Structure 1
Amino acid sequence: MKKNKVITAAEAIALIRDDDVVTTTGFVQSCIPEALHAALESRFVETGSPKNLTLVMTAGAGDSKGLGTGRLHHKGLLNRVIAANFGRMPKVAEAAKRNEILGYNLPQGVISQLYRACAAGQPGLFSKVGLHTYVDPRHGGGRVNDLTQEEIVKVVEVDGEEWLFYKATKIDVAFIRGTSADPSGNISMEKEALTLDVLAQAMAARNNGGIVVAQVERIVDDGFLLPKDVRVPGILVDCVVVAEPEMHRMNYGVMHNPALAGQIRVPVTGIAKMKLDPRKVIARRAAFELPPNGVVNLGVGAPEGISSVANEEKVTPYITLTTEAGAVGGVLASGSSFGAATNADCVIDQNQMFDFYDGGGLDMTCLGMAECDEAGNVNTSSFGGKLNGCGGFINISQNARCVVFAGTFTVGGLEIEIADGKLNIIQEGRSHKFLKQVEQNTFSGPYACERGQPVIYVTERCVFELTEDGLELIEVAPGIDIERDILAHMDFKPIVKAPVLMDARIFRDEPMDLLSDLLNLNLSERVSYDEERNILFLNLEGWNARQKSDIDDLRKVLVDACVKAGKRVNSVVNHDGFRISEALYDDYAEMIEYLMEHYYQTTSRYATNAFLRLKMQEALKKRGLAPHVFERKEDAHAFLERADRVNAAFGEDPNEEAAAA
């Protein structure tokens, strides 16, 4: 006989035993099985059971005020928590800080992928995510307090490379959530904003001999759900609980929005224009790093402003925004709906999104920063006595091809005025963000350098770049005094060589024409030709080569200029403030090789950045080219003059070959 799996929340919770391992779904304020959390809290308060539970979860699932997993704070209910985020259950975080419960803070993507390992009966997960951060057992192993002693993360070596092995924790009970269920327990998610890890969580519990409890908003008849609409098959589900509407909101701020659920597409007239304040200044500067036709992830806080700037500058059609929760494309939601997207192209499971991120699929990410130190390490997980957690930060920051950290320079009472194209500090923030050493290492600057990962740190008043020698000040806002407004409010002295002014357009309350920059439409304006001296000048100051198409665009502009000159030219290139992706040095050198073969007589270049000079010299030598990369402009010009005299003395006329060609 077929079993009707629909029962009450109280009946479902009665099946949980003391010491069980419980996992629950939810992302920030979305897709939370609130009725199940409330029933678990109620049973424990009334009976003192079930007690000593282990809670396993990925992202925070609550409103930070007591809802969601915040309901599970009662003493004795939890014995251990393995989570990526503690910030949305502050009382549980406080218990961990007081050594009242065991706790581990692991990367969100790792926990998400561990569900699959559990489901497959595997002992754990191999990953490079977390190396050289506080998750690395050499730096704490993700343990959040002294009470927690067991190591669940190990360093292992495979074929000469270091990996982390994360031990899987077997699941006894899984709380999942869907929209509709039939009496057999088949679950669909047509009105949910995200699918998250519900299938993997259900399979992990079922294959461990545990139970799966699904919260839904309605019961449908057998055969009503189309097979491809069923996201969790009934063979994995033990109990179905129908929740009251208030306990089954799309998120705590929205009852239901069909556009976020992908049920309809709505006209998007544009995100409201941001006022010109520090947050917009930061977002504008960070937006200059957006990779055309690239895939991007944005964190909460200051980075969210990039969506608005991209919309204002009409850049949105040229980038694809994603969230770690699984949304691809569309307009990313904020506030209580963060993690979802209006008019998304698709929504994939969270563990699959982290597969994409971990494999290098992200072209760029912009993330917040609570603390930063002289080595470029960043802390967002534990600071100021507060256990916040890393969320997906470690997965995303370690594996994106380009990383932008964004936030105000100081915090706590900071007041800034932007007028006449300048930035003025009215009142400085009470607390420094740039410290000698971060409290906890959520991102390793030295490890990023070792892997050649481009990293910059954007604030409202300046920009730093990560180098092998530490943080280098590369840009300063107009109106800012380096000594008074920057160095005086840092606990270390960064490298200061030849910082340039931040783009003046950032500080004017008018469109920046960002699209022209990102698509290199104005690249030809960087090239000039002195016919009398036969010198082609290329000014790459402040230009950013993000992807190979940028090198292709530059090649075309230079070839056009050389053809117009009608003969071989001498070339001088200004690389001050020039930035290039680590993967593009060889492409850049190949372009120079081509130009030397067909159009250049002699070329020289200069850059104050020692690291850039070194990498450029290495790339050119690899192709058998004389590097001619100087520190000063004067030296680059002097080289050209000497080369010209040598050519004249030996009676060489390289232009004849060019004319013949």
Structure 2
Amino acid sequence: MAKVITVKEAAELFQDNISVGTAGFGLAGWPEEIAIAVGKRFEETGHPRNLTHIHAAGLGNWGLGPKGERGEGVWAQEGLMTRFIGSHAGSSPSVFKMITENKIMAWNLPLGTILQIWHEAGRKAPGILTKTGLGTFIDPRFDGGKLNPLTKEKGEDLVTYIPDFMGEEYLFYKAWPIDIGFMRGTTADENGNITCEKESHNLEMLSVAQAAKANGGIVIVQVETLAKAGSLNPKLVKVPGIYVDYIVVAEDPENIMQTQGTKYNRAFTGEVRVPLQSSMKPIPFDEKKVMVRRVTQEIQPGFKCNFGIGVPTHTGNVMAEEGCANTITMISESGSIGGVPGGGNDFGAHWNIEASCDQGDHFSFFDGGGLDLGVFGLSEVDKDGNVNTSLLNGKIMGVGGFANIAATAKHAVFVGTFTAGGIECKVEDGKMVIVQEGKFKKFVEKCPQLTFNAEQSLKRGNHIIFITERCVITRTMEGMILTEIAPGIDLQTQILDQMGFAPIIPEGGPKLMDPELFQPVWGKLKEQMSQK
């Protein structure tokens, strides 16, 4: 039977030199009250020291919001957390800073693969064999996912290249032991059964708990409410009490966030269904909206679509605004299916969600090639169409679920501005106007790291396209082809001169992007989709 303990008692369970595995996504699922207590204990006593923190998704809020930085950053104290294993550090600025300053060891591995490793660790398997990460910086023939000089010098190898397994090449990711499974639910009964009715995601709670128990570790769960034994609906139990050792009932509701930006929204849990057009704010008419409109022209009725973080998150807004949200199934890497993805700090949550999967099981859908179309941020692209999302202008970010999803999506769409660093654009009189050019080129001769290998994707028969505010580039077996140009854009000075390589230009030049995309009111998507 699980034991109910105080926050202070939970913090004292964190001993020196242990590994902690957390099930979380941004601030969703993050047991913030206990995490704060662990950080405070370290400040007062110097313990626990030398923690290894392992988690799939990023655990932070980018340092934004009324309370400033929240999430994993509370452990970014020298000597407390000394090893980071995760898919994304960018959402935790203080952790990101420690990695960049070479103060802690850090490995960046694909989100979906970390989730799958939890499954394997739960049955005491040595790791997982997968093609995810081949030909990228995660491949040990390059960096092995090691993020800084300290890790490259002293860190162990977590990934092994297998050149020939049954006639094909693979990567093997080693499973790691964890001493504490760390997670948050909504309700626990006296036997330790955990439900998540107020959470926006199911996440990987069960597999993290199983991994901890398989290693002889403990499982600590923060909840909002304690219920009588046997009173919970067994179909709603996400972690059975047989896995749970300790329960902490949170005392401060302010320490419980449903997403990075929302405390609680019933439409994110499926408790209510709301009228989308009046609930979701339309995005303003600017270059981002033009780009996202062009993205939606790649979508066909019946497609299963995933929209990544950043500009891609607004694809659902435009689909809803155009009255086409119900023509496709929208999916997020968090395990959310159906409805419309939330934008910005609500990334991962869905308005009017229809189904919520365990996040680890969800990535089997991606890795199995089930996704019709994925929309991703456009960060840095080389002459071969390879993409770098992990090391930008010397700043370490992370691969997140990108490495899994982009590699297998039948249609991979990358969207973002053509240059970066201070770029200013506006849409005026049906034309795209570049007010100030960005300092950095995004289309470069060679990327410092690869997180998407275009050749590997093309070999699978997938399609690759890059959509910007001023042009569209398609990657085919022939190369990078400049297929479309925006009205008002000069081909030489505003495209070719801003690239580190020369794209292929079709005979007669690129065609004009749809001029109606550049008008304040569009309203043409439903008609266009009906013709596909």
TM range (shorter): over 0.9
Local SS of the residue matching 2:37: helix
Give the CA deviation at 1:61: 1.1
- Asked whether the equivalents of residues 216 and 248 of structure 1 are also in contact (C-alpha less than 8 Å), the reply is no
Give the CA deviation at 1:252: 4.8
Equivalent residues in 2 for 1:45-84, closer than 5 Å: 45-65=43-63, 66-84=69-87
- Asked whether the equivalents of residues 70 and 88 of structure 1 are also in contact (C-alpha less than 8 Å), the reply is no
Question: 1 CA distance for matches of 2:145 and 2:260?
Answer: 30
Aligned length, in residue pairs: 519
Local SS of the residue matching 1:314: coil
1:463–1:22 distance in 2 versus 1, CA, 3 Å: same
Q: Does 1:274 align with 2:293?
A: no
Match of 1:263 in 2: 271
Give the CA deviation at 1:151: 1.4
Q: Does 1:102 align with 2:105?
A: yes
Q: Deviations over 1:51-74 (max 9, x none)?
A: 111110011111233321111111
Question: 1 CA distance for matches of 2:526 and 2:412?
Answer: 20
Question: 2 CA distance for matches of 1:90 and 1:419?
Answer: 36
- Asked whether the equivalents of residues 137 and 153 of structure 1 are also in contact (C-alpha less than 8 Å), the reply is yes
Query: Which of 117, 123, 127 lines up with 1:124 in the alignment?
Result: 127
- Asked whether the equivalents of residues 113 and 351 of structure 1 are also in contact (C-alpha less than 8 Å), the reply is yes
- Asked whether the equivalents of residues 134 and 141 of structure 1 are also in contact (C-alpha less than 8 Å), the reply is yes
Local SS of the residue matching 1:516: helix
Match of 1:31 in 2: 29
- Asked whether the equivalents of residues 259 and 347 of structure 2 are also in contact (C-alpha less than 8 Å), the reply is no
Equivalent residues in 2 for 1:620-631, closer than 5 Å: none
Q: Deviations over 1:518-576 (max 9, x none)?
A: 221xxxxxxxxxxxxxxxxxxxxxxxxxxxxx5xxxxxxxxxxxxxxxxxxxxxxxxxx
Local SS of the residue matching 2:222: strand
Percent pairwise identity: 43
Query: Which of 360, 373, 376 lines up with 1:367 in the alignment?
Result: 376
Local SS of the residue matching 1:435: coil
Question: 2 CA distance for matches of 1:209 and 1:407?
Answer: 46
Match of 2:141 in 1: 138
Q: Does 1:204 align with 2:215?
A: no
Give the CA deviation at 1:158: 1.8
Query: Which of 8, 27, 42 lines up with 2:6 in the alignment?
Result: 8
Equivalent residues in 2 for 1:353-502, closer than 5 Å: 353-497=362-506, 498-502=509-513
Residue identity in the other structure for 2:245: D
- Asked whether the equivalents of residues 140 and 159 of structure 2 are also in contact (C-alpha less than 8 Å), the reply is yes
Question: 2 CA distance for matches of 1:217 and 1:106?
Answer: 32
Question: 2 CA distance for matches of 1:198 and 1:181?
Answer: 14
1:112–1:429 distance in 2 versus 1, CA, 3 Å: same
Local SS of the residue matching 1:365: strand
Residue identity in the other structure for 2:4: V
Question: 2 CA distance for matches of 1:241 and 1:361?
Answer: 39
Match of 2:292 in 1: 283
Question: 2 CA distance for matches of 1:273 and 1:191?
Answer: 26
Match of 1:113 in 2: 116
- Asked whether the equivalents of residues 410 and 461 of structure 2 are also in contact (C-alpha less than 8 Å), the reply is no
- Asked whether the equivalents of residues 191 and 263 of structure 1 are also in contact (C-alpha less than 8 Å), the reply is no
- Asked whether the equivalents of residues 309 and 344 of structure 2 are also in contact (C-alpha less than 8 Å), the reply is no
Structure with higher Rg: it is 1
Q: Does 1:334 align with 2:335?
A: no
1:4–1:453 distance in 2 versus 1, CA, 3 Å: closer
Question: 1 CA distance for matches of 2:427 and 2:516?
Answer: 12
Residue identity in the other structure for 1:266: V
Question: 1 CA distance for matches of 2:31 and 2:83?
Answer: 20
Give the CA deviation at 1:447: 2.1
Question: 2 CA distance for matches of 1:36 and 1:334?
Answer: 28
Give the CA deviation at 1:4: 5.6
Residue identity in the other structure for 1:212: V
| Deviation larger for 248-257 or 150-159 | 248-257
Local SS of the residue matching 2:277: coil
Match of 1:22 in 2: 20
| Deviation larger for 143-152 or 371-380 | 143-152
Give the CA deviation at 1:303: 1.2
List alignment gaps of at least 5 residues for structure 1: 521-549, 551-661
Query: Which of 170, 174, 181 lines up with 2:177 in the alignment?
Result: 170
Match of 2:156 in 1: 150
Give the CA deviation at 1:34: 0.3
Give the CA deviation at 1:489: 0.9
Question: 2 CA distance for matches of 1:413 and 1:79?
Answer: 34
- Asked whether the equivalents of residues 458 and 477 of structure 2 are also in contact (C-alpha less than 8 Å), the reply is yes
List alignment gaps of at least 5 residues for structure 2: 64-68
Give the CA deviation at 1:395: 0.6
Question: 2 CA distance for matches of 1:125 and 1:201?
Answer: 15
Q: TM-score, normalised by structure 1?
A: 0.76
- Asked whether the equivalents of residues 30 and 336 of structure 1 are also in contact (C-alpha less than 8 Å), the reply is no
Give the CA deviation at 1:506: 1.1
Give the CA deviation at 1:154: 1.1
Question: 2 CA distance for matches of 1:16 and 1:480?
Answer: 58
1:518–1:405 distance in 2 versus 1, CA, 3 Å: same
Give the CA deviation at 1:273: 3.2
Give the CA deviation at 1:229: 1.6
Give the CA deviation at 1:512: 4.3
Question: 1 CA distance for matches of 2:224 and 2:150?
Answer: 40
Question: 1 CA distance for matches of 2:473 and 2:451?
Answer: 18
Give the CA deviation at 1:266: 2.5
Q: Deviations over 1:470-528 (max 9, x none)?
A: 311111111211101101111111111231111122112222422222221xxxxxxxx
Local SS of the residue matching 2:221: strand
Q: Does 1:321 align with 2:330?
A: yes
Question: 1 CA distance for matches of 2:409 and 2:204?
Answer: 22
1:40–1:119 distance in 2 versus 1, CA, 3 Å: same
Question: 2 CA distance for matches of 1:104 and 1:469?
Answer: 35
Residue identity in the other structure for 2:161: V
Equivalent residues in 2 for 1:511-590, closer than 5 Å: 511-520=522-531
| Deviation larger for 103-112 or 495-504 | 495-504
Question: 2 CA distance for matches of 1:247 and 1:509?
Answer: 41
Question: 2 CA distance for matches of 1:4 and 1:420?
Answer: 65
Residue identity in the other structure for 2:169: E
Question: 1 CA distance for matches of 2:267 and 2:282?
Answer: 21
Match of 1:43 in 2: 41
Give the CA deviation at 1:387: 1.1
Question: 1 CA distance for matches of 2:452 and 2:414?
Answer: 10
Give the CA deviation at 1:415: 2.5
Report the aligned-residue RMSD.
1.5
Q: Deviations over 1:278-334 (max 9, x none)?
A: 101110111100121110000122212221221222221111111000110012112
Query: Which of 225, 232, 237 lines up with 1:230 in the alignment?
Result: 237
Match of 1:247 in 2: 255
Give the CA deviation at 1:370: 1.5
Local SS of the residue matching 1:321: strand
- Asked whether the equivalents of residues 130 and 170 of structure 2 are also in contact (C-alpha less than 8 Å), the reply is yes
Give the CA deviation at 1:469: 4.1
Local SS of the residue matching 2:59: coil
- Asked whether the equivalents of residues 313 and 344 of structure 2 are also in contact (C-alpha less than 8 Å), the reply is no
Question: 2 CA distance for matches of 1:449 and 1:295?
Answer: 20
Question: 2 CA distance for matches of 1:44 and 1:305?
Answer: 40
Residue identity in the other structure for 2:399: C
Question: 1 CA distance for matches of 2:314 and 2:114?
Answer: 28
- Asked whether the equivalents of residues 117 and 125 of structure 1 are also in contact (C-alpha less than 8 Å), the reply is yes
Question: 2 CA distance for matches of 1:419 and 1:94?
Answer: 40
Residue identity in the other structure for 1:262: G
Residue identity in the other structure for 1:264: V
Local SS of the residue matching 1:137: coil
Question: 1 CA distance for matches of 2:399 and 2:260?
Answer: 22
- Asked whether the equivalents of residues 259 and 349 of structure 2 are also in contact (C-alpha less than 8 Å), the reply is no
- Asked whether the equivalents of residues 291 and 363 of structure 1 are also in contact (C-alpha less than 8 Å), the reply is no
Match of 2:66 in 1: none
Q: Deviations over 1:331-384 (max 9, x none)?
A: 211233211112111101100110111101110011002111111111111112
